[in-house]
Structure 1
Amino acid sequence: MVDAVAAKTGGSKAAAGEAIDAFIGTVTAAVSKGDTVQLIGFGSFSTGARAARVGRNPSTGAEIQIPAAKTVKFTAGKAFKDAVNGA
């Protein structure tokens, strides 16, 4: 990813790496707080919730409690979907 961004922008790999790290850190911090990060045309990152449930240990078949957890959701934007589907 760093190489591709550096080649596309004509900048150095170090600068591209710093920009990508800053972007990822910003998105992570915002979504961790419960905010939605929307990139027009690409998609949006948000949080979801998974309820506690009972599961099974595949080795023993014993029931185990799986605790509730926050999840991260990505919803692709229309332009991104169209590009992937060749429309």
Structure 2
Amino acid sequence: MNKAELVSKMAEKSELELTKKQIEDALNAFMASVEEALVGGEKVQLVGFGTFETRERAARQGRNPRDPQQVIEIPASKAPVFKAGKVLKEAINK
């Protein structure tokens, strides 16, 4: 499902009869808010749905795919992570 399909699905399920434009604006605001929180080092918990957070990835050595003999240094980084909540896991496993 892409963003346009998600907006359409949300419009169908909306009890407030919001337009697709209003729903897209709300979705964009949600994504920007989550991004801002993650950049600030916070985590975003949506009870029953899941948690968005960042995790540190340590620096490590890897191999160049074009030349497996060549060792390359992969720098440390932060990675966004989503952990599904209990209710979401149960819904998926029905």
TM-score (norm 2): 0.88
CA deviation vs aligned residue, 1:49-76 (integer Å, no higher than 9, x gap): 0000010011111111100000111111
1:42 to 45, 49, 65: 49
Q: How many residues align?
A: 86
Corresponding residue for residue 3 of structure 2: none
Q: Which amino acid aligns with 2:41?
A: G
1:6 to 1, 11, 22: 11
Corresponding residue for residue 59 of structure 2: 52
Shift in Å, 1:11:
1.4
Three-state SS of the structure 1 residue aligned to 2:65 is coil
Cα distance in 2 for partners of 1:73, 1:21 equals 19
Shift in Å, 1:8:
1.1
The yes-or-no answer on 1:84 pairing with 2:92 is: yes
Cα distance in 1 for partners of 2:57, 2:87 equals 29
Q: Which amino acid aligns with 1:24?
A: M
CA-based RMSD: 0.7
1:75 to 80, 83, 88: 83
Structure 2, unaligned runs of 5 or more? 1-5
Percent of counterpart pairs with the same letter?
44
Shift in Å, 1:45:
0.5
Structure 1, unaligned runs of 5 or more? none
Q: Which amino acid aligns with 1:71?
A: A
Cα distance in 2 for partners of 1:45, 1:38 equals 7
Q: Which amino acid aligns with 2:81?
A: K
Structure 1 runs (4+) greater than 3 angstroms displaced: none
